[in-house]
């Protein structure tokens, strides 16, 4: 590997990491502010303009707090769990392309942590890994509430991961018809959503070529599944303040608690980014190349990506302000009896329809 | 599909509230020290000892306020007026008047009991201190000066709002006969310097005249 290539990779990883951290800091503040608006309150308003530095203040406070270690914990696992929660959260976002690749000399710089050809599988693997952080934190705390939270997390994550994966499969099958062969690479999936649906009918020439339109059912299933996967209201049974104190992180304090907190918000943003990439075309959008200065038309895709992602992040906050928490059996019913059958049915319908379009009816 | 309709209904409630809050229409929070809310006219705040418009003290040292006080926080001692140079129009005046604000429950029974409307309440409630002794308000702090200005314990405090202290007179008496129909529009208290004359309280005939379908908050 030559030095310029190494430099480009280092640049990609560091910039993606920093972007994720900055966006997470803003997300925590944005959630509090949006929830406040939905409840006729003001929300954080003291630290910085509009309270935007509130997250920084909270982080500093937690950093200087004592990290209490209860006597009965399994020390090794207890110390490891926050890292198990946060590392997969960051790794997931590394797969997401957040801007249009550009050229420096004859080297292409992709605005993405890493473009694996198994990107989607890696995302599924990492989102399963994230459950280990929660489960081990709950188990190693040696206390009843965290343990209950951990047990809930296990069942919940397994149920909803199936629906999430099936929704992704429908997209992958559909994406395979949009170009040369199938692909699991996130960059390639975005690439195939550029342009409009104009080739199907001239009426649709203003409709962007997003997977959202042909795969709307999969989008809805995916949306529900990622809310459950990130343990957010109304599926926050893992934390469930009213029942389980703090759930799996009851026995954590100081910076270790902050890492769980950070992981939750990083996961929200990563999962929203993945939803935006799979269904809303990621960074795809009109860049007006030639009529605008290069710097602006080059950064427009990143802006499109952030707008689409934040639209989905906003849905997370909106749901949290609106819906009460599901009962545990309702959670399981929704996962196993509604979402998975719906996802399987949609996968069959969508695949059959694609087959008809591709190969014609079998009897003809 | 009923579930989905209910779900969308819920989203509309929160989303609509958000839009109305952003435009300020439904925002109920006020940033308190920065913006003070208008208090209701009969708000029970800090006490004040009134004077007549000619500068004489209203308090006659009868100790009825101390007697009625359920928290036993008022201490009054009366003294005979100097006939040459009287402090109050009556025989006696209150030469010691102390209220322990840590005990006071702001029930305004002292205001009800006072036969001369000497003690009334203002709209000021920011009275926190770092010292228990500062919470005992003496005659010097409670008594208004001859122009009607009310002394403040901590005039340099950023929460010291002199306008709130200027709201004081007999009309905070809940049992005043002005509530009776025959007294409608009749002023039932004497003025003080400073706050001067209040308009008589509106009677209830205006409220009664309204149609019952109108939204009546109280």
pLDDT in tens, B146-168: 877 788 877 777 777 777 777 66
| Whether the predicted pLDDT of B47 surpasses 70 | yes
* Percent of chain A residues past pLDDT 70, beyond the cut: 99
Q: How far is B135 from chain A (nearest CA, A)?
A: 30
Nearest CA in chain B to A323: B10
Distance between CA atoms of residues B49 and B165, nearest Å = 11
B29·A40 Cβ contact <8 A? yes
Question: Would an 8 Å CB–CB cutoff place B186 in contact with chain A?
Answer: no
A119-140 and A144-176 helices cross at what angle (nearest 10)? Answer: 170
Question: Would an 8 Å CB–CB cutoff place A37 in contact with chain B?
Answer: yes
Question: Please, are residues B47 and B122 in contact by the beta-carbon 8 Å criterion?
Answer: yes
CB pairs < 8 Å spanning A and B: 38
Distance between CA atoms of residues B90 and B57, nearest Å = 10
Q: What is the pLDDT of residues A312-340, one digit of tens each?
A: 999 989 998 888 888 888 888 888 898 89
3-state secondary structure (DSSP) of residue A227: helix
DSSP state string for A56-111: HHHHHHHHTS-----TTS-HHHHHHHHHHHHHHHHHHHHT---S--EEETTEEE-S
Name the DSSP letter for residue B63.
-
Give me the sheet containing B74-80, strands edge to edge: B74-80, B92-100, B136-137
Q: Which residue among A37, A42, A323 places its CB closest to the CB of B18?
A: A37
Q: How far is A333 from chain B (nearest CA, A)?
A: 14
The residue ranges of every structural domain in chain A are 67-105+114-353
| Whether the predicted pLDDT of A244 surpasses 90 | no
Contacts of residue B182, Cβ cutoff 8 Å, sequence gap at least 6: none
Which pLDDT score, from 0 to 100, does residue B169 have?
A: 60
B14·A318 Cβ contact <8 A? yes
Distance between CA atoms of residues A207 and A177, nearest Å = 18
Total-model pTM: 0.77
Q: Name the least confident of A31-40, A207-216, B118-127, B203-212.
A: B203-212
Which pLDDT score, from 0 to 100, does residue B218 have?
A: 43
DSSP state string for A16-36: HHHHHHHHHHHHHHHHHHHHH
Q: Is A102 left (phi over 0), alpha (psi -120 to 50) or beta?
A: beta
3-state secondary structure (DSSP) of residue B77: strand
Q: What is the pLDDT of residues B76-95, one digit of tens each?
A: 998 888 888 888 888 888 88
Q: What is the pLDDT of residues A18-50, one digit of tens each?
A: 988 888 888 899 999 999 888 888 888 888 788
Q: How confident is the model at residue A251 (pLDDT cuts 50, 70, 90)?
A: confident
Which pLDDT score, from 0 to 100, does residue B153 have?
A: 77
B183: its two tokens: 């007294």
Question: Would an 8 Å CB–CB cutoff place A337 in contact with chain B?
Answer: no
Q: What is the mean pLDDT of residues A248-269?
A: 87
Distance between CA atoms of residues A309 and A303, nearest Å = 10
A38·B15 Cβ contact <8 A? yes
Q: What is the mean pLDDT of residues A199-210?
A: 78
Residues in chain A: 364
Q: What is the pLDDT of residues A170-191, one digit of tens each?
A: 888 888 887 777 788 888 888 8
Within 8 A of B22 by CB-CB distance, chain A residues are 37
Q: What is the pLDDT of residues B95-135, one digit of tens each?
A: 899 999 999 998 888 888 888 888 888 888 888 888 888 88
Between A348 and A363, the more confident residue is A348
Q: How far is A233 from chain B (nearest CA, A)?
A: 14
Longest dimension (CA), chain A: 73
Best mutation target, A322, A326, A333, to test chain B (most B CBs within 10 A): A322
Q: Enumerate domains of chain B plus CATH numbers.
A: 8-36 (no CATH), 47-176 (3.30.70.3270)
pLDDT winner (highest mean) among A123-137, A236-250, A277-291, A310-324: A310-324
Question: Would an 8 Å CB–CB cutoff place A364 in contact with chain B?
Answer: no
3-state secondary structure (DSSP) of residue B213: coil
Q: Which residue among A37, A318, A322 places its CB closest to the CB of B21?
A: A37
Interface subset of A 277-336, CB within 8 angstroms of B: 318, 321-323
| Lookup result for tokens 């003080």 | B192
Q: What is the pLDDT of residues A57-69, one digit of tens each?
A: 888 888 888 888 8
A39·B17 Cβ contact <8 A? yes
Residue environment code for B27-40, b if the CB has 16+ CB neighbours within 10 A, otherwise e: eeeeeeeeeeeeee
| Whether the predicted pLDDT of B70 surpasses 90 | yes
Q: How confident is the model at residue A128 (pLDDT cuts 50, 70, 90)?
A: confident
């Amino acid at each position: 590997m030559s030095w310029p290539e190494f430099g480009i990779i280092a640049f990609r990883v560091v910039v993606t990491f920093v972007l994720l951290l900055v966006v997470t800091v803003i997300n925590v503040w944005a959630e509090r502010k949006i929830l406040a608006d939905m409840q006729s309150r003001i929300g954080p308003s003291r630290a910085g303009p509009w309270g935007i530095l509130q997250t920084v203040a909270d982080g500093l406070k937690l950093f200087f707090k004592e990290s209490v270690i209860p006597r009965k914990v399994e020390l090794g696992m207890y110390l490891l769990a926050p890292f198990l929660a946060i590392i997969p959260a960051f790794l997931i976002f590394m797969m997401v392309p957040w801007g249009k690749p550009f050229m420096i000399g004859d080297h292409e710089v992709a605005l993405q942590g890493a473009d694996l050809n198994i990107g989607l599988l890696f995302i599924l693997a990492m989102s399963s890994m994230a459950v280990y952080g929660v489960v081990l934190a709950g188990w190693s705390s040696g206390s009843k509430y965290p343990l209950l939270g951990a047990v809930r997390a296990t069942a919940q994550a397994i149920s909803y991961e199936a629906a999430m994966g099936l929704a992704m499969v429908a997209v992958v099958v559909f994406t395979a018809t949009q170009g040369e062969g199938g692909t699991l690479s996130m960059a390639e999936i975005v690439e195939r959503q550029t342009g409009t649906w104009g080739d199907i009918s001239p009426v649709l020439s203003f409709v962007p070529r997003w997977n959202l339109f042909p795969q709307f059912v999969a989008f809805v299933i995916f949306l529900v599944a990622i809310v459950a996967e990130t343990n957010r209201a109304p599926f926050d049974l893992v934390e469930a303040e009213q029942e389980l104190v703090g759930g799996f992180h009851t026995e954590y304090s100081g910076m270790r608690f902050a890492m769980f907190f950070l992981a939750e918000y990083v996961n929200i943003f990563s999962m929203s980014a993945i939803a935006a990439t799979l269904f809303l075309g990621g960074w795809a959008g009109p860049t007006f190349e030639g009529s605008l200065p290069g710097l602006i038309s080059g950064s427009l895709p990143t802006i499109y990506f952030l707008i689409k992602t934040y639209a989905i992040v906003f849905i997370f906050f909106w749901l949290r302000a609106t819906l009460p928490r599901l009962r545990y059996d309702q959670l399981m019913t929704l996962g196993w009896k509604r979402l998975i059958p719906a996802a399987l049915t949609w996968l069959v319908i969508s695949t059959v329809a694609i087959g008809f379009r591709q190969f014609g009816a079998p009897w003809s | 599909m009923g579930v989905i309709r209910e779900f969308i209904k819920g989203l509309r409630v929160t989303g609509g509230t958000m839009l109305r809050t952003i435009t300020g229409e439904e925002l109920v929070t006020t940033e308190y020290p920065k913006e003070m809310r208008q208090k209701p006219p009969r708000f029970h705040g800090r006490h004040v000892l009134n004077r007549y418009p000619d500068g004489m003290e209203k308090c006659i040292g009868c100790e009825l306020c101390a007697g009625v006080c359920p928290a036993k926080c008022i201490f009054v001692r009366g003294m005979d007026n100097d006939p040459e140079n009287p402090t109050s129009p009556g025989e006696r005046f209150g030469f010691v008047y102390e209220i322990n604000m840590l005990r006071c429950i702001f029930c305004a029974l002292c205001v009800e009991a006072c036969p001369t409307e000497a003690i009334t309440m203002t709209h000021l409630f920011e009275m926190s201190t770092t010292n228990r002794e500062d919470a005992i308000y003496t005659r010097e702090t409670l008594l208004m000066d001859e122009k009607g200005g009310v002394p403040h314990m901590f005039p340099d405090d950023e929460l010291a709002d002199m306008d709130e202290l200027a709201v004081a007179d007999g009309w905070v008496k809940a049992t005043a006969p002005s509530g009776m129909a025959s007294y409608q529009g009749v002023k039932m208290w004497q003025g003080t310097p400073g706050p001067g004359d209040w308009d008589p309280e509106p009677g209830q005939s205006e409220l009664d005249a309204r149609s019952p379908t109108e939204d009546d908050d109280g």
